[in-house]
Amino acid sequence: MNDPIIQGIKLSRWYGVVMGLNNIDFQIHPGITGLVGPNGAGKSTLIQIITGQLQPSSGSLKVFGENPWNQPSVLRRIGYCPERESLPEHLKPMDWLSGLGQISGIPRTAFPELGIRLLKRVKLGEAHWKKRLGQYSKGMRQRVKLAQALMHSPDLLILDEPMNGLDPMGRQDIADILKSLAHEGISIIISSHILAELESLCKNVMILNWGRVIASGAKNEIRSDL
């Protein structure tokens, strides 16, 4: 098996007296990994630590062999697609991507070519490019968020509940895009509170509940143990 891209050792995170993660040990390897658990299980806390938004209360976490907290060299290799909606409804997708790119240090001259490549990569049809984001369906908005996360060509893509609120066709569309990205060599972590949503997509699964790792490993082995 390949070396892990993420490793947590006795990792804990507390919010005052409330436990987010409780002394967990785990490894995540290249490929597509599902992070599964009910609401409040610790999925979002773990994602926030991996993406450098939170520090652990104790223990350690390494991403590509380094601590992601305040470490730009690690964070540049991570693309993050949060669950929350923050797309400005009055902008068109190309304007949104161009503005974000410039804030991130991508030169203005890279657009619109970069934006076109990104929107095609997430299979957002050209007929929708002139529409404002407020006119987009949930699935279309998810594609724009995914394009945003891919802008700096990350090695690791992390998606927090990307299937939430999508109809079956929308979920299949996102799954097909993620499979294509994984085929390009991008490692992907995708969280969900429903294991069945990820079964056709993920090779490996890690199940969390009450801030602890309940099971971790190959999808088929996990399913047979449940």
Q: Examine residue 211 and state whether it is found in any structural domain, yes or no.
A: yes
User: What gap in Å lies between CA 218 and CA 200, rounded to an integer?
Assistant: 13
pLDDT of 208 higher than 70: yes
Q: Examine residue 85 and state whether it is found in any structural domain, yes or no.
A: yes
Q: Which of 68-72, 183-187, 197-201 has the lowest mean pLDDT?
A: 197-201
What is the per-residue pLDDT across 95-142, written as a single tens digit (0 to 9) for each? 999 999 988 889 989 999 999 999 999 999 999 999 999 999 999 999
CATH code, 38: 3.40.50.300
pLDDT of 35 higher than 90: yes
Residue ranges making up the domain that contains 77: 6-225
Give the residue-averaged pLDDT of 82-93.
91
pLDDT of 196 higher than 90: no
What is the per-residue pLDDT across 41-64, written as a single tens digit (0 to 9) for each? 999 999 999 999 999 999 999 999
pLDDT of 220 higher than 90: no
pLDDT of 153 higher than 90: yes
Confidence of residue 221 (pLDDT cuts 50, 70, 90): confident
Q: Give the pLDDT score at 164.
A: 86
Q: Examine residue 20 and state whether it is found in any structural domain, yes or no.
A: yes
User: What gap in Å lies between CA 211 and CA 41, rounded to an integer?
Assistant: 5
Give the residue-averaged pLDDT of 134-153.
94
pLDDT of 81 higher than 90: yes
Residue 84, both tokens: 């929350």
Q: Is 119 exposed, middle or buried (0-12, 13-18, 19+ CB in 10 A)?
A: buried
Cis peptide before 162 (omega within 30 of 0): no
Q: Give the pLDDT score at 28.
A: 97
Q: Give the pLDDT score at 226.
A: 54
**Mean pLDDT taken over the chain:** 93
User: What gap in Å lies between CA 189 and CA 181, rounded to an integer?
Assistant: 12
DSSP codes of every residue in the chain? -PPPSEEEEEEEEEETTEEEEEEEEEEE-SSEEEEE--TTSSHHHHHHHHTTSS--SEEEEEETTB--TT-HHHHTTEEEE-SS----TTS-HHHHHHHHHHHTT--GGGTTHHHHHHHHHTT--GGGTTS-GGG--HHHHHHHHHHHHTTT--SEEEESSTTTT--HHHHHHHHHHHHHHHHTT-EEEEEES-HHHHTTT-SEEEEEETTEEEEEEEHHHHHHH-
Give the residue-averaged pLDDT of 131-160.
95
Model pTM above 0.85:
yes
**What share of the chain has pLDDT > 90, as a percent?**
80
Q: Examine residue 172 and state whether it is found in any structural domain, yes or no.
A: yes
Q: Examine residue 1 and state whether it is found in any structural domain, yes or no.
A: no
Number of domains in the chain: 1
Q: Give the pLDDT score at 1.
A: 56
Q: State the SS3 of 127-174.
A: HHCCCCHHHCCHHHHHHHHHHHHCCCCCCEEEECCCCCCCCHHHHHHH
Q: Examine residue 203 and state whether it is found in any structural domain, yes or no.
A: yes
pLDDT of 225 higher than 70: no
